[in-house]
Copies of this chain bind each other. A is one copy, B any other.
Amino acid sequence: MPERRASARPKRKRDAAATREAILEAATRRLATQGYERAGVREVAADAGVTAALVNRYFGSKEGLFAEVIARALDMGHLLRDGRANLADQLARVVVYGGEDAPDGVLTPLLLLLHSAAEPRAIELFRRDLDRTQLRLLAEHIGGDDAAVRAAMVLAQLTGFAILHHVLRPEAFADARGEKLVALLSKSLAACIG
Q: Could you tell me which A residues sit within 8 Å of B by CB distance? A: 34-38, 113-119, 123, 126-127, 130-131, 135, 139, 146, 148-153, 155-161, 163-165, 167-173, 175-176, 180-181, 184-185, 187-192
Contact = CB atoms under 8 A, between A and B. Distances in A.
13 contacts: A35-B119, A37-B118, A113-B163, A117-B168, A118-B118, A146-B176, A149-B172, A151-B172, A152-B164, A153-B184, A156-B164, A157-B157, A188-B191
Contacts of A127: 168-170
Interface of A is mostly: helix
Given A160-B160, A160-B163, A164-B152, A192 B188 contact: yes
B188 A149 contact: no
B171 A131 contact: yes
B117 A150 contact: no
Nearest to A186: B191
Nearest to A135: B170
Contacts of A165: 156
B170 A152 contact: yes
A181 B38 contact: no
A24 B152 CA distance: 34
A187 B176 contact: no
Contacts of A172: 131, 135, 139, 148-149, 151-152
A168 B130 contact: yes
A163 to B, nearest CB: 6
Contacts of A175: 148-149
Contacts of A119: 35, 38
Contacts of A184: 146, 149-150, 153, 192
